[in-house]
Amino acid sequence: MSYKDYLKLIDDIRYHDRLYYVLHKPILNDEAYDALFQKLLEVEKEHPEWVVSSSPSQRIGELPSKGFAEVKHGSAMLSIANTYSQEEITDFWGRMQKVAPVDAVFAELKMDGIAVSVTYKEGSFFQAATRGDGIHGDDITANCSMIASLPLKIVGAPPLLVLRGEVYMPHDSFKALNHERELAGEDIFANPRNAAAGSLKLLSPLLVANRHLAVIFYGLIENKAVDYQHEVPEYLASLGLPAMPDYKLCKNVEDIMAFAEKVHKQRAQLPFDIDGIVIKVDRLSLHDEIGYTGRCPRFAIAYKFQAASAETIIKAITLQIGRTGVITPVAELEPVLLAGSTIARATLHNEEEIARKDMRVGDYVLIQKGGDVIPKIVEVIKEKRSVNSLAWKMVLHCPSCGELLLKDEEGVAVRCPNSKKCPAQQLERLSFFVSKDAMDIENLGVKVMEQLFLKGLVKHFSDIYTLDREKLSTLSGFKEKSILNLLAAIEKSRKASLSRLILALGIRHVGASTAAELASLTGSLEAFRKMQKEDFRGIEGVGEVVAHSLASFLNDPDNQAELDLLIINGVEPLQKAPARTDHLFSGKSFVLTGAMERYSRSEASELIEDRGGRVGDSVSKKTDYLVVGTEPGSKFAKAQKLRIRILTEPEFLQLL
Ligand code: IVH
């Protein structure tokens, strides 16, 4: 080994020390690390003249071998049987009746944090330990002494008080911490639980203080103070200890389910993460009688809510070209079940986002469903990364047409500027034109449109209206019946509403509500086509950017020629009767969230607009009604906060 290699070895070890001690994300296992260290010691023995004072070997005495001292739990820290099924809760209840005279169970929140055992001696905080393997844990007394909600002294406690509870990171602390880390260019934590675990592992208690952790206790070991689990929260609170904020004494399975449902509904509003409820036999004297199976008590069960995050692998990163030319990288994932649905793709947003999180093909990643339906990658598990992996790079040319890509005005998105000729953009625009929200041509899905486009039968919107029996018969899978159905659907769309047509044109920044506003203002395609930039000013929801986009669309001779062809080919957008003014909805502003059973979003919007109402995209103080379907998004919470009138689907139908 040369002197240069020796210095390199020191650097390597420092790098791994940092990963282990500072970032808590080691990539080497203990043996591999020990081997490196052993090599260092050997070299230094052979070449004492090389040894530098900053060599890791020189401070070996200071490095804690494992970071924390070991603690043996006086009474094992058990884990608990989990279930996601209501049936198994019914089974649990039945089992309990059989083994003991159980007339009540206690249900409380299942905190999603890190289990701790905390001991007070003579009223003073004495020790805190992690669960570890259940028998031995890490001594985290110093770190826990930094948790503000953990009292260092309590009055009225027995000489020895051993508590079980959970250290967690409240949402506020979590947000602030990740924000700080992001600014500092550090990796952010995927969720409050990981953040709490990472914080408890810090070797400097002063750093822990900055993490603003909290603790809640739910159990008493060998206590003489209470006879029932339901007395625990009150007893703990009387000692000034943080106790479970929500619980219920349940006399039957219905009580348990009602509590679970209530908690599940309130989950998003809680200031901390929970992952379900825990159900325990209420009479404590029965616990030992009922007994244990392996490492789990038989007298308790956790009823968990579906996990909202899962681990999977990025198989490939593909590029999606939108109808406005924006190129979006997409992660093709190893399919994984997440909160009840199988996820195989996740958007990666843009190049910067990929670089910031350093996401690579082959990486193991944690995906999560937030308030919205689209899953996102929240963390790259770098420990599992292959040494051969390469950083991802954005291509320079459009994968569809080969045009040099440009950065968007905002400097984040990458766009293919070849908007008229880029095949991918053309196809996306055509697919949007016929989609349910736009011209709503049934039986003309993405796959059929792709065939029509590739065969050269449809290149422009107006070509759709030249399709006939003969052309359609060349499509694979198209027989007499399907041809007739499609022709009928195309025929019907000739009379689509003006707002649908304006939306279908795919003008940048013009969404459904702007299109509806323009249609009701102009009343006809002829009038719309003649509008100038000045005319757009002062229209509700039309700012400078939208006005500019509309004007440049209408000033483009190709677009005007296309509108001519649409008219020549028989497209005659329906002029709607002026909106009513006598309906309950007239003049009122609506926002829709979630999926309705009876109507699509655009159908519901149309119904509202026909009655003189307006449909906006986001909830504000000016919103009169929020119509909620199933799986509502974040708008629901916002509307509740602003105390906006909420209509369920049946209520909406009735008011219609
Ligand atoms: S009781 C004797 N109650 O869930 C049963 N555990 O596997 C011991 N947890 O690591 C657990 N909230 O840290 C119980 N209200 C609660 C809980 C709870 C969270 C954690 C606990 C343990 C895991 C159970």
**Cα(637) to centroid of ligand 1, in Å?**
29
> What is the reported pLDDT for 505?
97
Q: Is 110 a catalytic residue?
A: yes
- Residue 21 clears pLDDT 70, i.e. is over it: no
Give the span between the Cα atoms of 601 and 593, in whole angstroms.
Answer: 9
Give the span between the Cα atoms of 38 and 29, in whole angstroms.
Answer: 14
Q: Which two tokens stand for residue 30?
A: 């203990």
Residue 277: CB within 6 Å of ligand 1? no
**Cα(641) to centroid of ligand 1, in Å?**
32
Handedness of CA 604, 607, 609, 611 (dihedral sign): negative
**Cα(148) to centroid of ligand 1, in Å?**
22
Encoded amino acid at 456, one letter: G
Encoded amino acid at 531, one letter: M
Of 623, 626, 631, 627, give the one whose Cα is nearest residue 594: 631
In this predicted model, what pLDDT tens digit does every residue of 517-555 receive, in sequence order? 899 888 899 999 999 998 888 787 788 889 999 999 999
Residue 108: CB within 6 Å of ligand 1? yes
**Cα(195) to centroid of ligand 1, in Å?**
19
Q: Lowest-confidence range among 180-189, 285-294, 622-631?
A: 180-189
DSSP result, 260-286: HHHHHHHGGGSSS-EEEEEEEESBTHH
Give the span between the Cα atoms of 74 and 137, in whole angstroms.
Answer: 11
Identify which of 112, 278, 303 to mutate to test ligand 1's pocket (most ligand atoms within 8 A of the CB). Answer: 278
What are the start-end ranges of the H helices in 595-648?
A: 601-610, 634-641
- Annotated catalytic residue: which of 4, 110, 153, 638? 110
DSSP result, 42-77: HHHHH-TTT--TTSGGGGTTTS-SSSS-EEE-SS--
Q: Which two tokens stand for residue 440?
A: 């709503």
Give the span between the Cα atoms of 299 and 290, in whole angstroms.
Answer: 6
Residue 79: CB within 6 Å of ligand 1? yes
> What is the reported pLDDT for 340?
60
The 3-state DSSP class for residue 562 equals helix
Residue 609: CB within 6 Å of ligand 1? no
Pairing of strands 292-293, 296-297: antiparallel
Where are the strands (E) in 514-616, listed by range?
Answer: 589-593, 614-616
**Cα(79) to centroid of ligand 1, in Å?**
7
Give the span between the Cα atoms of 459 and 425, in whole angstroms.
Answer: 11
Give the residue, by CA position, lying nearest to ligand 1 atom 13: 115
Please, which residues have CB within 8 angstroms of residue 138's CB and are 6 or more apart in sequence? 66, 67, 68, 69, 70, 71, 129, 130, 132
Give the span between the Cα atoms of 377 and 365, in whole angstroms.
Answer: 7
Encoded amino acid at 122, one letter: E
The 3-state DSSP class for residue 472 equals helix
In this predicted model, what pLDDT tens digit does every residue of 251-306 receive, in sequence order? 999 999 999 999 998 988 899 999 899 999 999 999 999 998 877 899 999 998 87
**Cα(194) to centroid of ligand 1, in Å?**
17
CB 365 within 8 A of CB 309: no
Residue 485: CB within 6 Å of ligand 1? no
Of all atoms in ligand 1, which is nearest to the CA of residue 78?
8
Residue 275: CB within 6 Å of ligand 1? no
Q: What is the phi/psi pair of residue 121, to 5°?
A: -120, 130
Q: Rounded mean pLDDT of 45-69?
A: 69
Q: Which two tokens stand for residue 315?
A: 């198989």
CB 108 within 8 A of CB 246: yes
In this predicted model, what pLDDT tens digit does every residue of 316-359 receive, in sequence order? 999 999 999 999 999 999 988 776 667 899 989 899 889 989 99
CB 415 within 8 A of CB 327: yes
Instruction: Extract long-range pairs of 566-571: CB within 8 Å, 24+ residues apart.
Output: 566/461, 566/462, 566/465, 567/525, 568/462, 569/462, 569/465, 569/466, 570/465, 570/494, 571/462, 571/465, 571/493, 571/494, 571/501
The 3-state DSSP class for residue 160 equals strand
In this predicted model, what pLDDT tens digit does every residue of 357-377 receive, in sequence order? 999 999 999 998 754 457 889
Where are the strands (E) in 260-388, listed by range?
Answer: 274-281, 292-293, 296-297, 300-304, 309-321, 326-338, 341-347, 364-368, 376-380
Encoded amino acid at 381, one letter: I
* CA–CA distances in Å: residue 175 to residues 172, 194, 202: 5, 13, 19
Residue 80: CB within 6 Å of ligand 1? yes
Residue 36: CB within 6 Å of ligand 1? no
This prediction's pTM: 0.51
Give the residue, by CA position, lying nearest to ligand 1 atom 16: 110
Give the residue, by CA position, lying nearest to ligand 1 atom 15: 110
Please, which residues have CB within 8 angstroms of residue 402's CB and are 6 or more apart in sequence? none
Q: Which two tokens stand for residue 319?
A: 């590029």
In this predicted model, what pLDDT tens digit does every residue of 133-158 receive, in sequence order? 888 899 999 999 999 999 999 999 99
Residue 21: exposure state from Cβ atoms within 10 A (0-12, 13-18, ≥19): middle
> What is the reported pLDDT for 418?
96
Rg (CA), the chain: 32
Q: Rounded mean pLDDT of 219-232?
A: 94
Residue 218: CB within 6 Å of ligand 1? yes
CA geometry: angle 11, 13, 18, nearest 5 deg: 95
Residue 299: CB within 6 Å of ligand 1? no
Of all atoms in ligand 1, which is nearest to the CA of residue 79?
7
CB 118 within 8 A of CB 125: yes
Residue 229: half-sphere exposure toward Cβ, Cα within 13 Å: 27
